[in-house]
Structure 1
Amino acid sequence: MVRPRPRLLDFTKTPSHLQFNKYVLTGYRPVSTAHECVRSLFYMHNELGNIYSHGIPFFLFLVLLPFSIPWREVDSIWIGVVHYLACLSPTVGSVLYHVFMNHVGGEHVYDTLLSLDMFGVCLVNTLGALPIIHITLLCFPTVQQAALLVYIFLSAYGIYCATTARTNVLRLRAFVWQVMFRFSLFLFRVYGSGAGSPDSLRLFVIMDSLAMLGGLVNVIQIPERFVPGLFDNWGNSHQIMHVMVICSIIYLHWGTLEDLTWVKNYQCPAE
């Protein structure tokens, strides 16, 4: 016998810790057990788009990305492994968060899942940038090692800020220093002696632009801000951000592949 789906709630009747977007008026799942949360994968509610907009890409990345990485041509296997994990990390935490956010464990479980979601976002920033740093500073080993340590420190600070922040604005600000550090690497490629494919630089700039724009859309909460209730299930700001994050990851992947292909034939100039 097929169990009927639970009755969905309006914004005012959902628990306070789930009232984070006052422009999404309907379609909230009631407080549920873990089994009931999983069952929500199969009926319409206002988190379904958030779940599948990262769930489907996760499985596609999981299966397809290893075949696109030129493992035999990568001088250091860790670069390929780190890049693969970077592409997967934001989708894992995101799916778990959106599936189980209405768990009977209440606000404590919700906060834990949100921290896991933000940790995944931090990891794509951290792990995704390590190959960029490695290749950009390839001809400066000492500077390269120092830059890696500095970036890991900034990433640890970003993880702390993102996982403890209470608002979307503060979460977005947690990534500013990492973005600025990557931008300095891009400038070093253009105006300095940084290594890397000329084609990858454009892809990396698009990557960061998409990620930051997606975060901004989520903070401003458009388009649902202008027509509350119209975008409850589909097309709201969080789903737009999810799509832009996936596009950002794809550009990260393309840029990294460009660098890996380029660097195999590159020789640092003699001092």
Structure 2
Amino acid sequence: MSRIRFMSMVPPPALRWNEVPVEARELYILKGYRPLSVGVVKSLASAFALHNETLNIWTHALPLIYFAWWTILDLGDARSLQAPGSHHPLYAYIIGVLTLFAVSTGAHLLMSVSWRWRQVCFMLDYAAISFYGVATARAYYHYTGNTEHSTKWYLLATSAAALAATFACCWTRVSQPKSAHYIRTLSFFLPFAFASLPALSRLYVDAYFRLRFLKHVFLLVCGAAVKVSKVPERFAPGTFDIFGHSHQVFHVLVFLGIREQFWIVMDDVKQVESSSSSSPISAFGPLAVLAALMLITLAFFSARGDTPKKNK
């Protein structure tokens, strides 16, 4: 009985590209695909099997642990701020970072449960990226930028850009246009650009901040370029199916870029003036509203296009 129970948890063998639906194929990746509709238990167990999603899972699961660990260790210093409520935007930012990596890990892990789960997992991943962008905007607005020259409309604009990016990315998941990868990558540039506005004023007056911020931007841009260009698998199809393909490199570069930003924010929090404070409603309320609107968007699109095409 125990052997039967154990075997029921073992993930099925990986498949080749021509054995999975067209929409589940990745360019230049020829093997290592997990079968769809294997259920929750086998999807969870697949975290410890070799396939083309294994490192996609762990390259964001380990950063999730990293940020959670350093948050616990460093939060005591951040909470020593004198201003009541000055740590609320920091909490909002941390929630955004942890949400990004937690949802990404869960999406890559559970996308093989069923086709519907695959679609929803991807859409949740898109929403988490946009959510993180708005959480970043909160932190930059209160800690990093020159708030005397910042206006609150920018927070609203960032939220609107994030919602639009989520809508566009979910649309590409359902419609499957040929330019889907480019649309998704460019969609996330808009909220990122809005979120970075408060930091721009410091680029000219703070050399140390300029170095770290540009490093953060450089890593994220490199990650986006690798993801869109499909390097290195483009030059050797079938060679990087399990280890080293572009999505894994993208994950690593995203982690390194956000890691740089994380420490920028943490350092700024410890130097913030006591007059900078925020109420729980102003810090978390807009994020809650945004999350609700994103879930409505996901529900709208997840009801469409849930049947994969036949293999060709």
TM-score, length-scaled by structure 2: 0.75
Q: Is the 8 A contact 1:203 1:254 kept in 2?
A: no
Q: Is the alpha carbon distance of 1:119 and 1:177 closer, same or farther for their aligned partners in structure 2, counting shifts above 3 Å? A: same
Structure 2 CA distance for aligned equivalents of residues 144 and 137 of structure 1? 10
Once superposed, what is the RMSD of the aligned Cα atoms? 2.3
Matched, 1:41 2:47: yes
Choose between structure 1 and 2 for higher RCO, CA contacts under 8 A separated by at least 6 residues: 2
Structure 1 CA distance for aligned equivalents of residues 268 and 275 of structure 2? 10
Letter in 2 for 1:103: V
Aligned to 2:306: none
Letter in 2 for 1:253: F
Aligned to 2:110: 100
Matched, 1:262 2:271: yes
Letter in 2 for 1:188: S
Question: Per the alignment, in what secondary structure is the counterpart of residue 174 of structure 1?
Answer: helix
Identity %: 24
Q: Return the offset for 1:191.
A: 5.3
Q: Is the 8 A contact 1:79 1:131 kept in 2?
A: yes
Letter in 2 for 1:110: R
Q: Is the 8 A contact 1:97 1:117 kept in 2?
A: yes
Given the alignment, which residue of 193, 215, 229 partners 1:180? 193
Aligned to 1:221: 230
Q: Return the offset for 1:181.
A: 2.8
Unaligned runs of 5+ in 1: none
Letter in 1 for 2:167: Y
CA displacement 1:63-88 (0-9 Å, x = unmatched): 33132131112731212201211221
Matched, 1:80 2:80: no
Aligned to 2:22: 16
Q: Is the 8 A contact 1:154 1:177 kept in 2?
A: yes
Aligned to 1:160: 167
Aligned to 2:260: 251
Unaligned runs of 5+ in 2: 174-179, 277-312
Q: Return the offset for 1:124.
A: 1.7
Aligned to 2:184: 171
Structure 2 CA distance for aligned equivalents of residues 177 and 139 of structure 1? 24
Q: Is the alpha carbon distance of 1:137 and 1:239 closer, same or farther for their aligned partners in structure 2, counting shifts above 3 Å? A: same
> What does residue range 51-90 of structure 1 map to in structure 2 within 5 Å?
51-69=57-75, 70-73=78-81, 75=83, 76-90=86-100
Q: Is the 8 A contact 1:203 1:251 kept in 2?
A: yes
Aligned to 2:147: 138
Q: How many residues align?
A: 258
